Amino acid sequence: MSAPSQFAERSSLPPRLDRMDPASLRRYFINTWELYEWLFSAIRRDGALYEAPDPLRQPLIFYLGHTAVFYINKLKLAGLIGSGLNEHFEELFAVGVDPAKASELAEEAWPAESEVRLYREDVYYFMLDQIERFDLSGPITDAHPAWAVLMGLEHDRIHFETSSMLIRQYPPAYLGRPEGWEYGPEGGPAPTPRMIDIEGGDVRLGKPDAAQTFGWDSDYGKLDVVVGPFAVGRDPVTNGEFMEFVREGGYETQGLWTDEGWAWRTETDARHPRFWVHREGDFQYRAMFDLLAMPESWPVEVNALEAAAFCAWRGDGARLPTEAEFQLLAASAPQVDGDCLFSDAYNLNLVHGSPTPVGLSEAGRTGDGLNDLFGNVWEWLADDFAGLPGFEAHRLYRDFSEPFMDSDHSMLAGCSWASSGVGASRYYRLWFRRNFFQHAGFRIAR
């Protein structure tokens, strides 16, 4: 179960629903599994899996088991198998967490790492056998048995990204960079910020029913929106641009923050972005496994509360874009395939193991002149997470999205360098609590 050594070859595109066969589904499963194993190979310290690098998440041993039991539990729920492989594991590792505060997390008695890895190996070979049994001769719909496997695969890739964010919060001494993991070019100084005027127009939100890749329940539905004229940043806000906010006391100025944001800032004593390290009057940048010189031209990575405070500091009506505005901009972004899976013009699908300088790829520039609308980092949006008209929770995963459709979770769009599968799509609607960290930044709108 070893992965190929060339980084750019590591992540396959998801199989199409209208021409899937056992061989393509098997390849995608193997690739998905190997990516996760490759990521976790970075953890080199004994016992580290039982430490939670983020106080709002479980220790990494949970996520090592979680993606494996998900396949089995969905096959059981779909009626494809009568029993699982380890009933205790398939209950213990079944459900993730989304606490507002660390005190809401319950302590668990986690099994030995060796037991979890043996279980993963059993699941791996069991799933390969199951895939060979599917009749994939016709178009695949969400009623087809293979949908449960596709759901497991895309869930696995979501957790590649979220687990990478957790691993990034370990001390570097716990980690070793996996073979073939290469960061993007550092670049030069941050470019001068520039706003671009957008005329507005009509946009339809929601993944088309006829799309030929897997979709999550929250991606579907339809909402037609008339977007008025607005202005938007040519680039995501960079580390260099955000540095001005930090040095001018943005984290100490309560009036710039929402009540929720200031409560978070004081509780955590945040004084700069999570992945900046302050040393001897200057800042270094925490990449996945190492400390680097500050890459000023890379997009800054912050939570939604920090993004909102920066907008207030910038003033003149600065705000985050809406989902409808983002989708209007996306209409002029270079695309491949009818499903809007994106090309290597963007820093996504693990082409690099970090962000890259904004505007590095001219091939990814939108027709409106925007850089990095897709890839590099996720972008926080102004919208609370909500279902689109016609939304219906999927029978195999009723708690995937609906429990989070509230005023506590904000939306993101555009995917990051670590996004793959259908997560690297125009139609994937991501959400998190506003105090949560992802490979995420923002751009300004007015």
What per-residue confidence (pLDDT) applies to 213? 93
Q: CA–CA separation, 101 vs 124, rounded Å?
A: 35
Sign of CA dihedral 440, 444, 445, 446: positive
3-state SS class at 343: coil
What per-residue confidence (pLDDT) applies to 7? 46
Give alpha helix (H) positions in 48-184.
60-77, 87-92, 113-133, 146-167
DSSP 321: P
Instruction: Name the strand (E) or helix (H) holding 226.
Output: strand 223-227
The DSSP annotation for 19-69 comes to G--HHHHHHHHHHHHHHHHHHHTTB-STTGGGS-SSTTS--HHHHHHHHHH
> Among 134, 61, 69, which Cα is nearest to 95's?
69
* Contact partners, residue 245, CB within 8 Å, separation at least 6: 309, 310, 313
3-state SS class at 153: helix
> Among 282, 314, 311, 315, which Cα is nearest to 296's?
282
Instruction: Name the strand (E) or helix (H) holding 225.
Output: strand 223-227
What per-residue confidence (pLDDT) applies to 340? 65
Residues of the chain above pLDDT 70, percent: 97
Domain spanning 195-238+298-441, CATH class = alpha beta
Tell me whether the CATH fold assigned to 7-174 matches the one assigned to 195-238+298-441: no
* CATH classification code of 7-174: 1.20.120.450
List the chain domain ranges.
7-174, 195-238+298-441
Report, as ranges of residue numbers, the positions in the chain whose pLDDT lies below 50: 1-8
The answer to whether the predicted template modeling score (pTM) of the entire model surpasses 0.85 is yes
The tens digit of pLDDT for each residue in 363-382 reads: 999 999 999 999 999 999 99
Q: Identity (one letter) of the amino acid at 347?
A: N
CA 343 → CA 89, 184, 300, 375, distances in Å? 38, 17, 23, 10
Sheet holding 378-384, edge to edge: 430-433, 409-413, 378-384, 440-441
